[in-house]
Amino acid sequence: MSNSIDEERTTFLNVDLDIISKSRLEPLVAAFGKKVSVLYVGPERSLYGAHLELGGPRFPKSADMAIRALAALVRQLPRKVRRLWNHARVKDFNIGIQGGYRPHCSVFPLNVETINAVARLGARVVVTVYSPLEVSKTEVRPEDANRGVQAAQQRVSTASRRRPKRSAARS
């Protein structure tokens, strides 16, 4: 399976494990070892955050598989480190979806057992959908630019009809 993304298709990307706590999370991240890839661990505003995904060269084929694997890693944490998990303010299994233009709709199901496993860990399932459009605040979409041009043309046309025409002889 290739890691390339068809930008036209709606696609499952991965599941991030997002944890926010009053306590430093480095010991919790260290306990996962090489079974996770660390996206970030450290201060977040006045709290501490850890953002992880499954490690290794293979990507999970579904959100369900990824959540089950991450939940199993959390269940296997040593008791002392598990307390960090239990006391965290946010424990999210964040499903990443790349939105696309096709197909018309896409379904990414979770099994009841997976949802129960997340609930037993005191966590949430969150879904993040990334737009297929790369639009920044400074970028102008073509349809918006056309509306602006049309509005400006309308104002010029209206203003020219209201003003009396000057004759060339008066200058």
Domain boundaries in the chain? Answer: 11-130
Q: Provide the pLDDT for residue 133.
A: 84
Q: Say which residues have a Cβ less than 8 Å from residue 74's Cβ, sequence separation at least 6.
A: 17, 82, 85, 121, 123
pLDDT in 10s for each residue of the chain, 171 residues? 444 556 689 999 999 999 999 999 999 999 999 999 999 999 999 999 999 999 877 788 999 999 999 999 999 999 999 999 999 999 999 999 999 989 989 999 999 999 999 999 999 999 999 998 875 555 444 444 445 444 444 554 454 455 555 555 544
Q: Determine the Cα–Cα distance for residues 35 and 170; give it in Å rounded to an integer.
A: 85
Tally of CB atoms within 10 A around 38: 15
This prediction's pTM: 0.74
Nearest to 29, CA basis, from 49, 57, 58, 59: 49
